[in-house]
Amino acid sequence: MRVELSSKKLQSEFVKKVTELSGQKLNLCYQCGKCSAGCPMSDAMDILPNQVMRLVQLGLEEDIGGSKAVWLCASCLTCTARCPKGIDLARVMEALRLLTLRKNKNYVEPSKLPRETIAALPQIALVSGFRKLTS
């Protein structure tokens, strides 16, 4: 019983943090799927944007943390423009990335990038990638 209470508390803290950081009313999402249908990155994502929303609503932080979807999000705002409930999903994605980075976890480790990759990529791509993917 104590474990259940403690996990419920953690779950609500996660939902609260995402709500605060994104400024969105997460419970408004009713899984229409319009965000995923228009997302230009959905083919590369392991879970779709609407599924990210559902996992957030359920407070399943670990399932989201193990996915690459939030890191592949290009912040293009297509989902935001299409959502019939006015949810800015791009901001939810950003909030989820921030929660990981605030734990001082990098999604990409700059020191582990192969020299050839660094040489091949334009500097602006590296800078913008590191800003998004490192803490």
73 binds ligand SF4 (CB under 6 A): yes
Select from 74, 108, 118, 127 the one that contacts ligand SF4 (CB under 6 A). Answer: 74
Using CA atoms, how far apart are residues 94 and 70, in angstroms rounded to an integer?
A: 8
Give the binding range for ligand SF4 (CB under 6 A) out of 12-20, 37-45, 59-67, 120-128. Answer: 37-45
The distance of closest approach from Cβ of residue 62 to ligand SF4 in the complex, given in angstroms and rounded to an integer, is 20
Q: Which of 23, 22, 40, 25 is nearest to 76 (CA)?
A: 40
Q: How far is CA 111 from CA 60, 95, 106, 130, 133, in A?
A: 31, 25, 11, 11, 13
| Footprint of ligand SF4 (CB under 6 A) | 29-35, 38-41, 49-50, 53, 73-79, 82-85, 87, 89-90, 93
